[in-house]
Amino acid sequence: MDFIPYGRQSIDRDDEAAVLDALRSPLLTTGPRVAQFEQDMCQYLGVPFAVAVSNGTAALHCAVHAAGIGKGDEVILSPLTFAASANCVLYLGATPVFADVLADTLLIAPVDVEKKITSRTRAIIAVDYAGQPCDYTALRELCNRYHLVLIADCAHSLGATYGDRSCAFHADLATYSFHPVKHITSGEGGLVTTHRKEWADAMRRFRNHGIDADHAQRSREGTWRYTMKTLGYNYRITDIQCALASSQLKKIDGWLERRQQIAKQYDAAFAGDHRLDPLYVHENRTHAYHLYVLRLAEQYGANARQQLFDFLRSRRIGVNVHYIPVYQHDYYVQHHNGGYVHCPNTESACERIMSLPMFNSLSDDAVARVIAAVQQGLSDLP
Ligand SMILES: *Cc1c(COP(=O)(O)O)cnc(C)c1O
C-alpha cells in the first residue's frame, strides 16, 4: 500500500520550463520575475499592492511591522493556528492575546475578540483556518470601532472568497505562504498584500535590510548611494522561486475545483454519521480547502482521536493534527503565560480533530481508500 500524505505539491513541465528559464536569465534574485509574480497576485486577489518575500513567516513579520506594532502593544488572534501567526507579534516585542474560536467553524469568534480588546490592542490577525474565510464583516466592524488594523493570515485560503471578493481584499494586510503543502508553491515563499502604498513601501524596505531604493533603481540612476532607514532583514525571494510561483498560479482555478470536489466526496461519505461533528461552511464564503478537517463527536476525547489516528497511520494514510493551541506550546507556557490562557472551544476541538489527505492530485481511488479506512476506524471506536 502506498503512503498517502495529507498534502503535497504538483509540479508539471510548464513549471520546470519556467524555472529553467529563470535560471538562464541574467538576474537570479530581485529581478523581473519577482515583480511579475507580485503583479499576478494583485490581479488574482483584486488588491493594489503585493510584496513577495522568502516565506509566509517573513510575510507575517512584514505585515505586523507595516501595521506599526511595537513594544507594549497587543494583537488579538486565534490560538488554533501554526505558531508563526503568533510568533510574528513576539518578534516586535508585542503581546499576542488569544481569542477563542466559534465551535461550528473553528474560526475566530468576533464576540470573544471584542472581550479581549484593551487600550493596548492595535490589531487583529484573522486566520482563515483550513481555508474558510473568517467573518470579515464582523471583524471589520470591530476594527473600525476600536481603530485596529485587520491582518489576515491567508496561508490556508488562497482562492477563497468572502462575498465575491478575496480575503486579501477585506483585510488591511493579508499574508500568504507558498510552502509545498499550500495551494501553490515556490519551494519556500510568501507574500503580503495591502491597500496602502506607504505600507507596501515600508515592507519593501523591511525585506531588504531597511534600505530605501533597490539596486535596479540605483543602477538606472547611475548612483552608488543608498541609505538604511530602518532596521530590516533579508527576506528577499529569488526570481527562480517567483518563476515557479507564477507558473503555479496559472493553475489555481482547476486545483481549487479539485480540492472542493474531494471535500464533497468526504462530506457525502461522512454525512449523518453520529460519531462525527462536521465543521460548518457558510453559504456566502467559498472554502479553499487547504485542509479537510474531520472532527469526532463531542462524546469522544483525545483517546478516541489517538486510536483513530493510529489506525489510519497503520493503513498508510498520512493524517495530521492542525493544531495544538499555540499557547500550549512549551515556549508559550514557559515565557508567555501560556498556562493561564483558556479557550474552551479551541481546546475541545483540538482533542477531536484530524486532517485527512487533501491535495489536488489526490485520486478518486485514494479518496475512496481514505473514506473506507475512516469508516472502519470509526466502527472500531469504543
Ligand atoms: C504555513 C503557515 C504559515 C507560515 O508559512 P511558512 O511559509 O511556512 O513560513 C503561517 N501561518 C499559517 C496559518 C500557515 O499554515
How high is the pLDDT of residue 214? 64
What amino acid positions are annotated as catalytic residues? 182
CA distance 107 to 125: 11
Peptide bond into 323 cis (omega under 30): yes
Q: Are strands 74-77 and 95-98 parallel, antiparallel or unpaired?
A: parallel
Atom index in ligand 1 nearest the CA of residue 59 equals 9
Instruction: Report pTM.
Output: 0.97
Cβ(318)–Cβ(6) below 8 Å: yes
Alpha carbon nearest to ligand 1 atom 3, residue: 56
Three-state secondary structure call for residue 52:
strand
Ligand 1 pocket: which of 78, 85, 88, 235 to mutate (most atoms within 8 A of CB) = 85
Q: Is 155 in the pocket of ligand 1 (CB under 6 A)?
A: yes
Q: Is 291 in the pocket of ligand 1 (CB under 6 A)?
A: no
For ligand 1, the distance from its centroid to the CA atom of residue 362, given in whole angstroms, is 22
Ligand 1 pocket: which of 53, 57, 323 to mutate (most atoms within 8 A of CB) = 57
Backbone angles phi, psi at 230, to 5 degrees: -135, 170
How many CB atoms sit inside 10 A of residue 378's CB? Answer: 20
Cβ(113)–Cβ(124) below 8 Å: yes
Backbone angles phi, psi at 118, to 5 degrees: -130, -175
Q: Is 153 in the pocket of ligand 1 (CB under 6 A)?
A: yes
Q: Is 54 in the pocket of ligand 1 (CB under 6 A)?
A: no
Half-sphere exposure of 363 (CA within 13 A, CB side): 6
Atom index in ligand 1 nearest the CA of residue 177 equals 7
How many CB atoms sit inside 10 A of residue 165's CB? Answer: 14
For ligand 1, the distance from its centroid to the CA atom of residue 154, given in whole angstroms, is 9
Q: Which three cell numbers stand for residue 319?
A: 493524517
How confident is the chain (382 residues) per 10-residue block, as mean pLDDT? Answer: 95 98 96 97 98 98 98 98 98 98 98 98 98 98 98 98 98 98 98 98 96 72 83 98 98 98 98 97 98 98 97 98 98 96 97 98 98 98 92
Q: Is 175 in the pocket of ligand 1 (CB under 6 A)?
A: no
For ligand 1, the distance from its centroid to the CA atom of residue 56, given in whole angstroms, is 5
Q: Is 85 in the pocket of ligand 1 (CB under 6 A)?
A: yes
How high is the pLDDT of residue 213? 63
Ligand 1 pocket: which of 53, 55, 82 to mutate (most atoms within 8 A of CB) = 82
Buried b (16+ CB within 10 A) or exposed e, 252-275: beebbebbeebbebbeeebeeeeb
Alpha carbon nearest to ligand 1 atom 14, residue: 155
For ligand 1, the distance from its centroid to the CA atom of residue 82, given in whole angstroms, is 6
- DSSP one-letter string for 55-95: SHHHHHHHHHHHTT--TT-EEEE-SSS-THHHHHHHHTT-E
CA distance 159 to 184: 10
